[in-house]
Amino acid sequence: MNDTVKFLSLAIAVPEHIITQAEAAEASARLFAGRFQDFRHLASVFNNAGITKRHAARPLSWFDEPHGWQDRMDAYAEVASSLFIEAATKALRQADLQANDIDCVVTVSSTGFTTPSLDAQLAGKMGFRADIERVPVFGLGCAAGVSGFGIASRLAKGKPGKTVLFVTIELCTLAFRLDELTRPNIIATALFGDGAAACVLRNGGHGIAEVESSGEHLFADTLDIMGWKIDDAGFGIVLAQSLPPFAETELGPAVDAILARNGLSRQDIDRFICHPGGTKVLAAMESALSLAPGSLDHERAVISDYGNMSSPTILFVLERAIRAGLPERAAMIAMGPGFSASCVTLRRTA
């Protein structure tokens, strides 16, 4: 029996509220310029981020007021639930499946949480079976779109015919902090947006692509590069200024090692599909992977339209790559807290 894992469908979803980059820049100047001495120097990040607009869980006016944990998590529960249902329902419809066909659901998010987890809270509305396997994953950050996809594919591989729904949801804007007068907070205000994506994977059958391999690399002594600090008001961004040069130096060897463990090399990859953390990170990734400047065109288009949505962003890029026509072999790559790199390779099946 053919027991390779196939990637059947991919759907994306975003909240209704739209914030243009010009609006974000104006609001940040109004809220921070009089309180943060270096704001004028940092304000150029809004023009240089390559972002035109992003979607947000709440309207722009919501961010004028301080919010604590309850406000933030109430908003997260409401909007994340809506996006989960929208993205998952569209992915199931594309795969010509019903919710009761799903054996396992993997849900990743690092910008909020509920207990019971979202998959349990929405099981009745979705129509999941009582024996569904649920795997909620927190803390992988921007890497989770690729890491979670890899987890879902490995779970699907465990049994012929097993069908796994993978959902990734991030509401990054809910971490906006009026009280954080820091460089990372201002940069985050210029970069991050909200969104969700869902995929269906199955052991055997036919699909868009075969999930050929997956792997990760954890860099030693890099905990300060990216993450959250948590206090009474909510999440606070940890974002090192050194990320682009780190990526340029370290990403290539890490990807080479992941590929080599799976019997592949960089020369076997027809298209790298990368998480667009920002324009400087994209340029660093192109250099690290020996790609011509500007090669990551889908990535730049996604960040322009949506900003950096953390984990779902890579799947927005993959969705564009599918529409453009997947090459014979593609590799999805993302970096995230840890500091880590994740890679999944896909082989076109049609």
Q: Which listed residue (142, 172, 199, 343) is catalytic?
A: 142
Given a contact cutoff of 8 angstroms between Cβ atoms, the answer to whether 168 and 312 are in contact is yes
At 267, list the tokens. 């020369």
Q: Over 166-180, what HEC string results?
A: EEEEEEHHHHCCCCC
Of 143, 128, 165, give the one whose Cα is nearest residue 7. Answer: 165
Residue 34: count of CB within 10 angstroms of its CB: 8
What whole-number distance in Å separates Cα of residue 348 and Cα of residue 211?
Answer: 9
Burial 40-62 (b: 16+ CB within 10 A, else e): eebbebbeebbbebbbbbbebeb
What whole-number distance in Å separates Cα of residue 282 and Cα of residue 274?
Answer: 8
312 — phi, psi (to 5°)? -70, -20
Query: Is 172 designated active site?
Result: no
Residue 206: count of CB within 10 angstroms of its CB: 11
Given a contact cutoff of 8 angstroms between Cβ atoms, the answer to whether 127 and 115 are in contact is no
Q: Which residues are catalytic?
A: 142
